[in-house]
Structure 1
Amino acid sequence: MAPRPLLQDKIFLTDSGLETDLIFNEGVDLPDFAAFPLLGTAEGRQRLRAYFIRHIAVARRAGVGFVLEAPTWRANPDWGARLGYDAGALATANRNAVELLADVCEAFEGTEMLLSGCVGPRGDGYRPEAAMTADHARAYHQAQVDAFAAAGADLVTAMTMTTVAEGLGIARAAERAGLPSVVSFTVETDGNLPDGTALADAIAAVDADTPPDYFMINCAHPDHFAGRLDGEWTARVRGVRANASRRSHAELDEAVELDAGDPAELADDYVRLRKALPNLNVLGGCCGTDVRHVAAIAAAL
């Protein structure tokens, strides 16, 4: 199956580090780094709406599109069970997340937007500690992907993938649900996946089986991977959601204060990345970033 030109050549912004923004900048308690429980209260839903609205406003001023990523990175069976959610409650949360994004969209008629169901890793986003086969990963993540499809999501994004098998499994789950997919890999300071796989090899392996619409890189500073962007495979990378911090994942895990970096400096890095990634057109942030970083990226580009 050939990947579909989901975004064509238009520029799309997306959001920033939702969890770090809420925890460090707004003082919101997010047990297990999970944002989806906020959907269960009126106050929580309002916080999420406000977060997305201030990011979409940046895209609207810049005259570009926006990819709305559901706050469901932790809404899978293992993390859900830790937070007291059974299968039914998780399905409801995942559907409600997409419906909340659809509601937000109504306030921005005229801005092109896509609703993405975000699928996070079964285990930690920094370590490949819950390695699965692709078949196992497909089965594990299928219920979440199906909930996104039922709620009317436009696509599914597998975020902070640490292994080829899990990213591939989610691409297969999306195909089974009839949704376009995106696979976004986490890389370490050496530009490789946490299990040591080269980014180029990871993309080639997924493409050889179930090609997603495009790939992304997230949860790493541009300095960690910019030197590895060489070869025809780079044309498959359409999105980057970089960290503001140059720290390693191990250092970030131990940090008690937010390292927000320099928004202008990060924006300059994105300008350089667009020269190395010929099809880069989905631009946002990850850990440590907030709407200031996204606004700086929009201004620089």
Structure 2
Amino acid sequence: MKQAINNEFAQRFQRFSEEFHAKGSGTATSYVTALKKLNAALRGAGCFLQPGESVWDIHDDGRLAQLYALVKNEQKKPDGGIFRNESAKSYWKQGFCSAAVKDFARFLSLSVRQEQMLNAFDSATDGSVLARNLESMRLSASPMLLDNDDIVLTSAEGRTAIREVEVRQNQDVFRRMVLQNYHSRCCLTGLPMPEVLRASHISAWANDKVNRMNPENGLCLSATYDAAFDRHLISFDEDYRLIFAPSLQEYYTNEAFQEYFSKLRGHKITMPKRFLPSQSLLEDHRRHLA
């Protein structure tokens, strides 16, 4: 039973790592493998782990920091330390094991905050109130969240680094909320492919701090329409119907434009589950049509 739980946790960690790191880099798979090899090395050396415990069972940030320090030290030993019997030497020689421990700690910290944020979304009825509540959910600062070990957590650089992790997670949570609100379909075309869906901000993230996490400030659009919306080439009227910017007139006779845009002109979006797009924010968006 415990083995099954550990495997499930490893899968959750891999999914997190795949989202956090560059797609196609193989980092997520390498980190899961590195933690499995570390677990075997610790068991073989009879150190750090309690009887019956595995690396996947360590969820305390303090213990993970201790494990990280131990692994970094062992990786430096000429004979490989606890990794001396490991055939795939690149995992410890190139620092994958220590990096994986830090990534696992990041996964645990961010998972707790993400769960809190999504639970708040599930029970919310007012987007503006929800946005304020989500912004107040700060990430617990930990050196394990910093990529660079030389950065002091309490320094300006350290605080900035933690805030960048927070912002990145906020953007991810906003996307999750918007896609869930729109049944993971483009509200204009009905396209159900999450890989090409975007959580479009009606009022830009950079310009509107108050509404950054407000689901009423979001539309679920596929990539092409998200780009057009972001550049104020299209918008939606008081009845949530697609309208064009004047600058698009030069494309009206283009066959591709007619197929992908003209056919949808005046088309009403598929309405979301709960949080309707804010008409006050859409009104401001319409004023900027190019």
TM-score by length of 1: 0.27
More strand, by proportion: 1
With a CA cutoff of 8 Å and minimum separation of 6, indicate the structure with the bigger relative contact order.
1
Q: TM-score, normalised by structure 2?
A: 0.28
**Which of structures 1 and 2 has the bigger CA Rg?**
2
User: Is the helix fraction higher in 1 or 2?
Assistant: 2
